[in-house]
A = this chain, B = another copy of it.
Amino acid sequence: MLAQIDLSRKIDKTEYKTVMEELSRRLAALQREAIQLKIPIVVVFEGWDAAGKGTLINQLILTLDPRHFSVFSTLQPGEEEIHRPFLWRFWIKTPAKGRMTIFDRSWYHRVLLNRVEKHKTLKNFDWDTAHHEINSFERQLTDDGNVIVKFFLHISKKTQRDRFAKLEKTASMSWRVSKGDWSRHKKYDKYLLALEELLAKTDTDYAPWTIVESHDRRFATVKIFKAVIKTLEERIAGVKAQASQKQNGAKVVTNGDNDGMTVSILNRVDLSPALEKADYLKKVKKYQERIRDLEHEVYVKRIPVVIVYEGWDAAGKGGNIKRLTQHMDPRGYEVIPIAAPNDIEKRHHYLWRFWQEMPKAGHIAIFDRSWYGRVLVERVEGFCTPEEYKRAYREINEMEEHLANYGTVLVKFWLQIDKEEQLRRFTERKNSPFKSWKLTDEDWRNREKWDIYQDAVEEMLFRTSSPHARWTIVESNSKYYARLKALKTVIGAIEAKL
């Protein structure tokens, strides 16, 4: 419907001044309130070239407290960005709690260019997949309490031509109109068609579009202010209502999740497989050499690889990872140990810190524990709400699907040992002067909750074993057996993608 919109609307100078005084005052007050309530705010500016994006963003930020917002200009993606899933660079720029990020162009820009232009700059680009990824990205943010305001600045083809021509005539401005601008201008109608589809597919109740008629700067400014104000007012009222609900103690009581009825996969795992040291030593070298070759191949073919290690305390994650990387080229891989989130990380969506660590195409990232902490330790210890960990299964599946869409090789290991084996290893550690540092009081406390953890593990294995991201259970009572199985699995997964 973009083509049919009335673009002639104007606001005169006197009216503008009065209205804006009031709106600026209100917006500033709302920003302060949002900071206090720790609401993260995402503002997206998209629009035609020469629609006045720069000017309008400036109008908006003049009113805001500059300590609490950042403007992120989406230029051509750099080396770092081309070699990662296309939402990566936006994920890492999402605002912390109480902050505002203004995107001067955003995740929509490249998707649109890729649709219309011949040279494609997004790897493995698929138009429909892009809509789905964008919608799940935006929903993950709003589910986590973000406010998203999306503007599309609309001008007609004629106005765009006039503005380009005027800029070109002004000596100091002429550099601002490039060949690319004129070439895109000629394809205005093609862009319009693609835009209408893009806007329709991504106009959701959690992140709706606001179309800004941008022929008249004053009209556009007022519309932008009003939209931001309205969205903030609604969210702030919502947050306050929720808070008062909590105070009134009207909380949802459930019976807990431990009814002994969760699906069991682990009970079936046969932990007896073992391996003689001699056999192990013979094979491990061969596998490690193969891994080294494959590391080189994925680099050449620019395939990103993500390997996740989860498992019981003392299941042997460290030793397993050590054998995996022993002969690898350190420039091609990174081991990322995951501990409890720090203060900065806590102020973001819980997936945010993992997005930071996603490997470039051609690189291998090995996670020693991972985003699954949300549905394991955070769930069991009550570090997140039941709603949050239940939502997390979907969020994790979506993130892993985005990785898979980008062509990532994803291997997920659950290192399984039984309770007796864990006790044996704990005792051994306790009694060994070289290993006792590895054993903490927390390990013993976790061990007491074995059954509760097992329920969480079972549910995790079941709910996050999607077709593009299967779990491999590594029987780890025998360390030798476990190491070879992990090596073999990684080799198989990479070979399948080559």
Contact = CB atoms under 8 A, between A and B. Distances in A.
Interface stretch (A243-251, A298-306, A431-439): A243-251
A226 B263 CA distance: 13
A10 to B, nearest CB: 12
A462 interface: yes
A4 B263 CA distance: 10
A114 interface: no
A11 to B, nearest CB: 10
Contacts of A393: 203, 205, 208
Interface stretch (A67-75, A78-86, A227-235, A488-496): A227-235
A410 to B, nearest CB: 14
Contact of A252 (B200, B237, B265, B466): B237
A244 B248 contact: yes
A144 to B, nearest CB: 14
Interface stretch (A180-188, A253-261, A285-293): A253-261
A202 to B, nearest CB: 11
Contact of A6 (B9, B233, B261, B268): B268
Pick the most buried of A8, A196, A203: most chain B CB atoms within 10 A of its CB: A203
A326 interface: no
Interface residues of A, number: 59
Given A196-B467, A252-B237, A268 B5 contact: yes
B265 A4 contact: yes
Contacts of A237: 252-254
Contact of A9 (B264, B266, B269): B264
A157 B397 CA distance: 28
Contacts of A390: 205, 208
Contacts of A399: none
Contacts of A267: 6, 8-9
A115 to B, nearest CB: 12
A461 interface: yes
Interface string A206-247: 001001010000000011001100100110011011001100
A393 to B, nearest CB: 7
Contacts of A200: 397, 465-467
A208 B234 CA distance: 30
Contacts of A462: 1, 5, 211
A245 B255 contact: no
Nearest to A199: B462
Contacts of A213: 263-264
Interface of A: 1, 4-6, 8-9, 196-197, 200-201, 203-205, 208, 211, 213, 222-223, 226-227, 230, 233-234, 237-238, 240-241, 244-245, 248, 250-255, 259, 261, 263-269, 390-391, 393-394, 397, 461-463, 465-467, 470-471, 473
